[in-house]
A and B are shown apart, each in its own frame.
Chain A
């Protein structure tokens, strides 16, 4: 996927002027936090569970090599195949090779953000294999040739009329009087059409919410059941996962599942939670003949031992973006790559470079709401600040910012000079404010005064007045 993150500002402007997107955001903005809050309120130990979730992930990351090897051994023991991939290229090649070996013509897909990161669909299509997205949101995006704007609700940026328009464009058999007034009408139409695709697919590709070391299982959660049909019907199942999805035990996975659904959708549990361990065994009624896991690093191991390691705790619940006032203003596409919102603002610079994604960690007020709702307590603002530090070290931040900062700091380290400067500034601004007490336009402060007045200061600084009062007392 071509990153448009360098054009974040332009993307954001366009997003704020897009009435459809703003309508969609206005609809979901209050809903998601309210659902999460209700689910959290219903579980008294939720806060303790966040600590447990954080600790499970920290422990695993500290012993990642051990658990990956244990997991691999258990996948092999259950008859599955493991494909280790260092880079995105390796992963694309591995997926293609499995599909080609299976003689695949069509491939059904469950929702998977890592498959977006790796642009698996484009790669398969280039080699004559047709991928079919089966998550309802992803399905509509595939029709529209759009990227997801949210990591769990990929089509959050669309409204019902967009769905109807896209369906009518592609589902040409539809009678004109077919009604799409409600979500269930859309679901019914997609379900009818997808049923045949599930049956015809040669390979099913899913992501994995967790990989369990002690059993060699992969776990997916869905609310539509499409993931189960994707991974059980075709002859071959490929689970696509990055290395940090590992957890040591089933018990650990269930602790994290309790956090995941509540944080993501406000459900106590997702509708379908499916554990896959190897392929079909003798006597099994269903399941794939072959079970493959394509396990991908693509930059994760380089985060271990750095100030960004905590980001690898992420369980992709989307609570951060659901609560982020910036995401809720500009939507997910403005971020310009696969992962939007606060988690994307930390992860994207690691994956495509801070030189390209520098806007993302800067476009935050550090309000801290994301960290306060993160189920595994990732210090997202702190890591965005670390990206700003990396930018500063590499002289990627604008020269004027650096100069202004240097001059300001030089003065701020000299209190007497500082008092002189602030004294003058306060008097000057007071003068400019005049009798109105506010400043409507000010050179060098246009980005403030274009849309806001600058209230004029009282005129005398605190320290001037304080010194005067102390002199008067003496």
Chain B
């Protein structure tokens, strides 16, 4: 980091991490602080608006986006432990205001300083390794929006390579969608199930004991299917591993006992 003072980073927790997996939020705070950032969590945040956006409700999306822009104004960076929400902020939100130049300008400022967590650590903070250990063999799924909207591909693999005791193995098709797709998985459950089953077959074939990814939606989908199939593969958000939390936090859908 080239700045003299520590950058002020606003963490956008995301609705799924807030509701489902708070540990990912705390992992993000730890990683950002370790990387030399001052982390704040704006209180007024709720959701980036994707459920409305992808359902075609542009007016609601825009009103949520206005709140969001206000809540996150004034920080050096906005960091989010999700490629999907990151993509919403970076590539989609400004276009909601194509007819409203003032708000559009604010949305562009926000978009320009928003980063997905892992790529922020590597590309902006210049982190190349983490102080973490985890015994086992893991495979990494590239979530669609992170991969194709934000170019997140090498970054998590670079950092995971530095985790002591962890070996990484690639699945055959890590870039194919897991079938989550937000509301898609409940609107077209049969197709979604077939897609996630193809994905879990690919995961199982690697022989890995842990599945990692950077988006809670995909993780819940794949974890839910693996668990229904009776698989013992553990599923975690990549931030938990990088923040060295795997010893203290059970895997997704795993009980504490």
Interface residues of A (CB under 8 A from B): 9, 12-13, 16, 325-326, 329-330, 362-369, 371-372, 385, 387-393, 397, 401-402, 405-406, 408-409, 412-413, 415, 418, 422, 425-426, 433, 435-438, 440, 445, 447-448, 450-458, 460-463, 465-466
Secondary structure class of chain B's binding surface, majority of residues? helix
A413-B67 in contact (CB<8A):
yes
Distance in angstroms from A337 CB to nearest chain B CB is: 18
Q: How far is the CA of A84 from the CA of B25 in the complex (A)?
A: 61
Interface residues of B in 47-70 (CB under 8 A from A): 47, 51-58, 60, 63-64, 67
Q: Which residues of B contact A438 (CB under 8 A)?
A: 224, 227, 253
Q: Which residues of B contact A461 (CB under 8 A)?
A: 18-19, 22
Residue of B nearest to A390 (CB): B56
B22-A462 in contact (CB<8A):
yes
Distance in angstroms from B246 CB to nearest chain A CB is: 14
Contacting residue for B253 out of A330, A367, A451, A456, CB 8 A = A456
Distance in angstroms from B141 CB to nearest chain A CB is: 12
User: B201 on the interface (CB 8 Å rule)?
Assistant: no
User: B233 on the interface (CB 8 Å rule)?
Assistant: no
Ordered by A's residue number, 18 sampled pairs between the chains whose C-beta atoms are within 8 Å are A13-B190, A16-B194, A325-B177, A365-B180, A366-B182, A368-B148, A388-B56, A405-B52, A422-B18, A425-B19, A437-B250, A437-B256, A438-B227, A450-B193, A452-B193, A452-B228, A455-B253, A466-B25
Q: How far is the CA of A405 from the CA of B61 in the complex (A)?
A: 10
B184-A455 in contact (CB<8A):
no
A409-B191 in contact (CB<8A):
no
Distance in angstroms from A473 CB to nearest chain B CB is: 13
1/0 per residue B136-177: CB within 8 Å of A?
Answer: 000000001100110000000000000000000000000111
Q: Which residues of B contact A409 (CB under 8 A)?
A: 52, 57, 60, 63-64
Distance in angstroms from A9 CB to nearest chain B CB is: 7
A365-B184 in contact (CB<8A):
yes
Q: Given that A363-B191, A364-B184 are known contacts, is A452 also in contact with B55, CB under 8 Å in the complex?
A: no
Q: How far is the CA of A330 from the CA of B44 in the complex (A)?
A: 43
Q: Which residues of B contact A366 (CB under 8 A)?
A: 54, 144-145, 181-182, 184
Q: Which residues of A contact B60 (CB under 8 A)?
A: 405-406, 409
Residue of B nearest to A418 (CB): B46
Interface size class of B (residues with CB under 8 A): 35 or more
Distance in angstroms from A149 CB to nearest chain B CB is: 16
Q: How far is the CA of A329 from the CA of B220 in the complex (A)?
A: 21
B20-A458 in contact (CB<8A):
yes
1/0 per residue B1-39: CB within 8 Å of A?
Answer: 000000000000101011111110110000000000000
Q: Which residues of A contact B179 (CB under 8 A)?
A: 325, 365
User: B254 on the interface (CB 8 Å rule)?
Assistant: yes
Distance in angstroms from A449 CB to nearest chain B CB is: 8
Number of A-B contacts (CB under 8 A): 190
Q: How far is the CA of A466 from the CA of B185 in the complex (A)?
A: 31
Q: How far is the CA of A391 from the CA of B57 in the complex (A)?
A: 9
Distance in angstroms from A186 CB to nearest chain B CB is: 30
Q: Which residues of B contact A365 (CB under 8 A)?
A: 144, 177, 179-182, 184, 192, 195
A437-B189 in contact (CB<8A):
no
Interface residues of B in 202-220 (CB under 8 A from A): 220
B186-A447 in contact (CB<8A):
yes
1/0 per residue B90-104: CB within 8 Å of A?
Answer: 000000000000000
Q: Given that A385-B53, A397-B55, A456-B253 are known contacts, is A448 also in contact with B145, CB under 8 Å in the complex?
A: no
Q: Given that A325-B195, A372-B148 are known contacts, is A413 also in contact with B186, CB under 8 Å in the complex?
A: no
B196-A452 in contact (CB<8A):
yes
Q: How far is the CA of A366 from the CA of B184 in the complex (A)?
A: 9
Q: Given that A325-B179, A435-B257, A437-B250 are known contacts, is A412 also in contact with B188, CB under 8 Å in the complex?
A: no
Q: How far is the CA of A385 from the CA of B54 in the complex (A)?
A: 6
Instruction: Across the A-B interface, give the 8 residue pairs with the lowest CB-CB distance, nearest first.
Output: A365-B181, A455-B253, A388-B56, A452-B224, A392-B56, A367-B177, A437-B255, A462-B22
User: B132 on the interface (CB 8 Å rule)?
Assistant: no
